Amino acid sequence: MKIDEGNVFELMRLVLPEHRGAMNQYQTARAIRKKPVLSQQEWEDMSFVISDAIESGSSVRLTLFGPFENEVWEGVPVIYAGQLHIVIDDERRRLPVERLIAVTTSN
């Protein structure tokens, strides 16, 4: 088999079955992303948008970090039992603040 740019990965099919699991674990570990570090100004901006939305009862769009891809929640933030929640389609969810990476107002 001729090795060139088009079929280099075709040779990976010749991997022993007992090594295939280790290769899959390695590729999964490489795909995991690291959470971005937010500055104090970004936290203050997000806090302002959330507090304004709580006071006015308006909807916000929240971006939550995930190891493989981000999640987007859109709803109305509320304080319930001293914790921050978001109401999405009449369902209240606790907002995982530690995963929060962006907050914008919904239009």
Please give the pLDDT value at position 22: 84
Please give the pLDDT value at position 59: 96
pLDDT 10s digits, 15-71: 777 788 888 888 888 888 889 999 999 999 999 999 999 999 999 999 999 988 999
Q: Which residues contact 68 (CB under 8 A, 6 or more apart)?
A: 31, 32, 33
pLDDT 10s digits, 70-81: 999 999 999 999
SS3 content of the chain, % helix, strand, coil (to 5): 40, 30, 35
Q: What is the CATH number of domain 40-105?
A: 2.30.30
Residue 4 has pLDDT above 60, yes or no: no
Closest CA to 54 of 39, 75, 81, 38: 75
Alpha-carbon span 62 to 68, nearest angstrom: 17
Please give the pLDDT value at position 2: 56
